[in-house]
Amino acid sequence: MIIADANGVIMRVNSAFTETTGYTPAEAVGQTPRMLKSGRHDADFYRAMWESINLTGKWQGEIWDRRKNGEIYPKWLTITSVKGDEGVTTHYVGLQLDITDRKQAEKQLQILAHNDPLTGLPNRALFHDRLEHGLELARRHQHSIAVLFLDLDHFKEINDTLGHDVGDILLKEATNRLLACVRKTDTVARMGGDEFTVIITEMRTTEDAECVAKDILKAFSQPFELNERFYNVGCSIGIAIFPEHGQDNKTLLKHADSAMYYAKRQRNTFCIFNNNR
């Protein structure tokens, strides 16, 4: 809690204030709450805050402040103006609640909703969102987009023989190798099991997708070290390209999946979708 005079000068703080901000009463009294400003809010934010206080006598909302140690943190703040007998504001009372834990929990839930918990990659839902956004841009700017559907070869045998823990290690290492083969503007997602997808945006020619597929195959040609032994785990890749092989999200994924199964017959290769197969 903060109690400030009509000019906003801090008159008193309680122990909860000190615990949250790190400032002792001796350090806070005589200062103004501006000592806590994080720099995250612009002048319009504070202007709207004071308009509410002056009009209604109260403001409450989420605000980011800075602790004494420099850490920026979120809090829920309620400011109330207290008026004297003549209706003139004599002081202000600020009640604050540190919501750092709540924010971190919300962030974690957001991650779990959109990312694969094992690899940290976008999950199926976020993949479709990214692809839809990419298609909108591609239509607007007349670009091509490629969807690569990838399935690990021999993953089931390793998972069944060495166990799920080792299988998880393999999936994490496969993720690292995939990410090393694409640009930061591209998307690598895990669809489930040993299936991954890649979205390649702003392609110039079909060869761009083929080059990425070749890089991935080369990366996976190196053995994986699992339980102090080396195992060969290749991959099969199917490719579908917008707009030639589909105009929408579902069609592109379906055709990339179909091409992947064709590649799977030979293993450790890639195949571009062909409607005649």
**Confidence (pTM):** 0.67
Q: Which amino acid is at 29?
A: V
Question: Domain 2-104 has what CATH class?
Answer: alpha beta
- pLDDT at res. 259: 96
Question: Which candidate in 153, 186, 194, 257 is catalytic?
Answer: 194
- Which stretches of the chain score pLDDT less than 50? none
Contact 244, 261 (CB under 8 A): no
Annotated domain spans of the chain: 2-104, 115-272
Measured distance between the N- and C-terminal CA atoms of the chain, rounded to whole angstroms: 71
Q: What is the pLDDT of residues 164-178, one digit of tens each?
A: 999 999 999 999 999
Q: Is 42 a catalytic residue?
A: no
Cα–Cα distance, 85 to 41 (Å, whole number)? 34
Q: What is the pLDDT of residues 181-224, one digit of tens each?
A: 999 999 999 999 999 999 999 888 889 999 999 999 999 999 99
- pLDDT at res. 277: 67
Provide DSSP, 263-276: HHTT-S-EEE--TT
Question: Domain 115-272 has what CATH class?
Answer: alpha beta
- pLDDT at res. 272: 96
